[in-house]
Structure 1
Amino acid sequence: MLSLLKTSLQQHIDAGIPAGPGVRQISLPWTPGSHVPMLDWLNTCTLYPQFYWQHRDGAQEAASCGGLLTFDRLSAAQRFLSTNRTAWPALRLWGINAFGNGNDNSEQNDGDDDSAGDGQNGHANGNDAGEPESCLLLPRLTWQRDAQSHRLVLNLASDVSLGDDARLCLAWLQQAAPATPLPPWTAQLREEVHQPERSRWRDTVAQALAQFGRGGLTKVVLARRTRLGFSGNINPHALMAASRRVNHDCYHYMLAWSAQRAFLGSSPERLYLRRQRQLDTEALAGTVASRSASATVGQLAQWLMNDDKNQRENLLVVDDICQRLQDSAITLDVMPPEVVRLRTVQHLRRAITARLDCRDDSRCLAMLQPTAAVAGLPRDAARAFIARHEPFDRQWYAGSAGYLSHAQAEFCVSLRCALAERQTLWLYAGAGIVEGSDAEREWQEVNNKAAGLRTLLTGDKPTAAN
């Protein structure tokens, strides 16, 4: 990999790279000579920040390192892509969007498909009021896999001299080390603290149920954060690799700001996939365990399909998504429900497809994030309840993770996730509370969801309850 990149970059330098500012992309097809996992390569690489992504169908995978440009709002990232779409249409940004405050009244572009999202070159930009915070990167280098086809994508960018950046990149490539296997996990769990703890969780669920009775709120998703303290430093690359091996049918994502600090997870839920004006999204709400001492997986799935509380919870999300899309959708279709089976839980899912009136990812994010599956209904009332009662800031939890380009974008909902900071892991999970919810059953649901990552570190087997 490194020799191929060095040769190609040297050829571009020899051919002449402008001394002025600009952006350039070098894309090379590549056939790995041996099987080197992307996470092994990322762990060896010393260039940060890093981003890892694998689609839930397993066919698409990417590993990126370095942040030539960083955008703290999706709209700024979109303007940058639009500015450069003629010269470099394949530019792709990777990263995450925070849960945030949302913005139903954000400015929308009502122009044609090609003008939507146009603007000036954007670096970090805090002027897009109302948008959730983002951390979206134009990486130095991305290794992409699509099925069995591999490609290396090297980006150059400079406000001063593109030629100088190319020579800087070449110097980095000459010093980069080859990939080595990830180290084994050896640290021991020393401490586990829930926020909120169990009695406060019961009280908060009771407060939500009481507010349902008074009107103005029909669903709220309550989250729990668990602090796990270990005897040694956590290697986020190794944790991501372990989750990828066992948590199938999930999007796997990781943004590492350094070797000691990363946000990562394995989420079953798509926020949206946009291909030009075609939008695919879904309602993933309604949960039961994947295993139980008293019932088979099939029996639990059948129970989920017929349970009134879970069906109502799913349809609330469907209705909310459809209402949010209706003003922007030329066509809108909802598929029949299906049960999605994961390692520790099963979910109800309904796929939703739409043909949009224009191509605008800022608009898509404003319409769809946060969904009722991670916040509640009505959205503003649910967010207000969460802000009053949850004892922590969600930040990246229940936001979104993925990539953005002019022609296509895809983000998953950042669930089943954790923030790793040296010897501490902050583990996040939540449960949808609707009329008829039971606090103890919802607590167990949170346990089941958190087990997807927790058991990888502790060796415990997931517990389950119907």
Structure 2
Amino acid sequence: MNVPVLRVRTRRIPTPEHLLGYADAKSPIAWLRRDDGLVARGEVWRIDTFGADRFQDAQRQWRELVAAAEVHDEVAVPGSGLVAFGAFAFAASSSTPSTLIVPEYIVGTVGEVSFLTEIQVAADSPAFDDELAGDAPVTAAIPAPHPLGVPATTALHPGHVTEAAHRQAVTEAVARIRTGALAKVVIARDLVGTLTADADRRSVVERLHADYPETWTYCVDGLVGASPEMLGRVIDGAVTARVLAGTMPRHPNADADVRVGEDLLHSPKNREEHKYAIDSALASMSGMRQVATAADDLDGGLTASPEPFLLKLPNVWHLASDIRGTLPEDATVFDLIEALHPTAAVGGTPRDAAMRLIAELEGVDRGRYAGPVGWCSATGDGEWVIALRGAQITGNRVVAMAGGGIVASSDPAEEYAETMPKFRPIVTAFAERESN
């Protein structure tokens, strides 16, 4: 496949009042957390990959594109310059494509810096006009922002994996674990819905970001959600990852909610589940030849939180651990996410046995649920989260999934109940809301 020569320019702009106004209503691209974010529209380059080599195929074509591109970046912050947004399928056997998209425009805010990136195919467009350089008004080159239209709303109801099917799958998973076939497996279920033809998909992004500002709100190729779990982040060679495993729903009473958090922190079942996840992540990262020793690690390996800590979100408590390391100059974030995916937090351990059991017991293609979603830049930087607390929109059809880690002590009724607060962010984002 011959890649095009792209011409890229990034300039500072005044801080936009509403970033999502620059995204497309039907196919928004967004990456938001707290007051920072990237939104994009249009598509100048796209690749779809499949199978076990999907990460390497994407990386190879991305490197070819980067090598040929003409990039003029006057800002030089994470997310500026040539950037692609991507979403990868959970399983190698999935019929859902793993996709990288380079948009026409990116409007971003990182800290105190706001910027516009324009991307065009050199063969199809003239060079950027000189009069638009420097301090010229950016409004001459960027599409005008558009207010949100008809909210994207739908009631989500059980899909392929019913309550009875989920409980049966968990029961069978526990039986397999107790035979010693594996230590942990994640079993998920699905909810489905339908949007109206005029629905503005940006409303879902806006609601998720407003309700869960501490998570990473993502929207790429119809995959939308608010993930609390950073699969892998590389900025200037520094590697970070966040592992979440072990969950309890929040309690509306403040005192009782504190006790819920403490119960989670000291729960043998949840700490066992978390240990499998953190050990799996450390083993995957340590096994990467590209990962170097973290400078502040006195033991000669990757650094990790010595004990899991409580992460409080509006809907749930999580047990969390952070991992840090470094990446050499010739590696990119693709190497990292390929090594880490699927983590034990969304797959299980041992990895191969868990993946086989998931396919057998769920009986449904997960698509991009629990796969990597995020962005990468021409400099090798990138941020990729696990696609959780979200849904895939294909046409007008919505499919959401949520699951939980199953170990030998798991109870089917409790595991089904645990999925409910995990669905809450996306169910609420699609729900009808009373007008003021």
Superposed pair shares fold, TM > 0.5: yes
User: Which amino acid counterpart does residue 100 of structure 2 have in structure 1?
Assistant: L
1:334 equivalent in alignment to 2:304: yes
Q: Which residue of structure 2 aligns with residue 235 of structure 1? A: 200
Assess if the C-alpha contact under 8 Å between 1:417 and 1:427 holds in 2: yes
Distance (whole Å) between structure 1 residues aligned to residue 254 and residue 383 of structure 2: 39
Look up the SS of the partner of 1:425 in the other structure.
Answer: strand
Q: Which residue of structure 2 aligns with residue 199 of structure 1? A: 164
What is the aligned residue count? Answer: 394
Q: Which residue of structure 2 aligns with residue 183 of structure 1? A: 149
Distance (whole Å) between structure 1 residues aligned to residue 98 and residue 347 of structure 2: 18
Distance (whole Å) between structure 1 residues aligned to residue 418 and residue 211 of structure 2: 19
Q: Which residue of structure 2 aligns with residue 268 of structure 1? A: 228
Q: CA deviation at 1:233?
A: 5.2
Q: Which residue of structure 2 aligns with residue 53 of structure 1? A: 31
Q: CA deviation at 1:88?
A: 5.8
Look up the SS of the partner of 1:195 in the other structure.
Answer: coil
Q: CA deviation at 1:225?
A: 1.0
Q: Which residue of structure 2 aligns with residue 140 of structure 1? A: 104
**Alignment equivalent of 1:212, drawn from 156, 169, 177:** 177
Q: Which residue of structure 2 aligns with residue 279 of structure 1? A: 239
User: Which amino acid counterpart does residue 364 of structure 2 have in structure 1?
Assistant: F
Q: Which residue of structure 1 aligns with residue 297 of structure 2? A: none
Deviation string 1:258-306 (CA, Å, 9 cap, x unpaired) is xxxx220010010111124321112111101112569622111111110
Q: CA deviation at 1:238?
A: 0.8
User: Which amino acid counterpart does residue 330 of structure 1 have in structure 2?
Assistant: A
Q: CA deviation at 1:355?
A: 2.3
User: Which amino acid counterpart does residue 428 of structure 1 have in structure 2?
Assistant: M
Distance (whole Å) between structure 1 residues aligned to residue 82 and residue 143 of structure 2: 26
Cα separation, partners in 2 of 1:155 and 1:242, compared to 1, 3 Å: same
Assess if the C-alpha contact under 8 Å between 2:309 and 2:319 holds in 1: yes
The 5 Å alignment of 1:245-256 reads: 245-256=210-221
1:22 equivalent in alignment to 2:5: yes
Distance (whole Å) between structure 2 residues aligned to residue 280 and residue 266 of structure 1: 19
Q: CA deviation at 1:76?
A: 2.8
Unaligned runs of 5+ in 1: 1-20, 103-129, 257-261, 461-466
- Tell me whether 82-91 or 200-209 shows the greater mean CA deviation: 82-91
Look up the SS of the partner of 1:373 in the other structure.
Answer: coil
Deviation string 1:310-347 (CA, Å, 9 cap, x unpaired) is 11111111111111122333321111321111111110
Q: Which residue of structure 1 aligns with residue 83 of structure 2? A: 92
Look up the SS of the partner of 1:271 in the other structure.
Answer: strand
Deviation string 1:383-415 (CA, Å, 9 cap, x unpaired) is 101111213211111111111122311101110
User: Which amino acid counterpart does residue 146 of structure 2 have in structure 1?
Assistant: T
Distance (whole Å) between structure 2 residues aligned to residue 255 and residue 165 of structure 1: 28
- Tell me whether 324-333 or 174-183 shows the greater mean CA deviation: 174-183
Q: CA deviation at 1:216?
A: 2.5
Q: CA deviation at 1:82?
A: 4.9
Assess if the C-alpha contact under 8 Å between 2:192 and 2:400 holds in 1: yes
Distance (whole Å) between structure 1 residues aligned to residue 308 and residue 176 of structure 2: 29
Deviation string 1:15-39 (CA, Å, 9 cap, x unpaired) is xxxxxx732212221014x72x122
Cα separation, partners in 2 of 1:283 and 1:325, compared to 1, 3 Å: same
Unaligned runs of 5+ in 2: 49-56, 74-80, 133-138, 294-301
Distance (whole Å) between structure 2 residues aligned to residue 87 and residue 178 of structure 1: 24
Q: Which residue of structure 1 aligns with residue 274 of structure 2? A: 314
* Identical residues among aligned pairs (%): 23
Distance (whole Å) between structure 1 residues aligned to residue 28 and residue 196 of structure 2: 25
Distance (whole Å) between structure 2 residues aligned to residue 287 and residue 146 of structure 1: 31
TM-score, normalisation: structure 1:
0.77
The 5 Å alignment of 1:448-463 reads: 448-458=421-431
Assess if the C-alpha contact under 8 Å between 1:275 and 1:409 holds in 2: yes
Distance (whole Å) between structure 1 residues aligned to residue 124 and residue 394 of structure 2: 35
Distance (whole Å) between structure 2 residues aligned to residue 183 and residue 196 of structure 1: 33
Cα separation, partners in 2 of 1:440 and 1:354, compared to 1, 3 Å: same
TM-score, normalisation: structure 2:
0.82
User: Which amino acid counterpart does residue 312 of structure 2 have in structure 1?
Assistant: R
**Alignment equivalent of 2:67, drawn from 77, 83, 92:** 83
Look up the SS of the partner of 1:296 in the other structure.
Answer: helix
1:447 equivalent in alignment to 2:423: no
Distance (whole Å) between structure 2 residues aligned to residue 230 and residue 254 of structure 1: 16
Q: Which residue of structure 1 aligns with residue 265 of structure 2? A: 305
Assess if the C-alpha contact under 8 Å between 1:287 and 1:346 holds in 2: yes
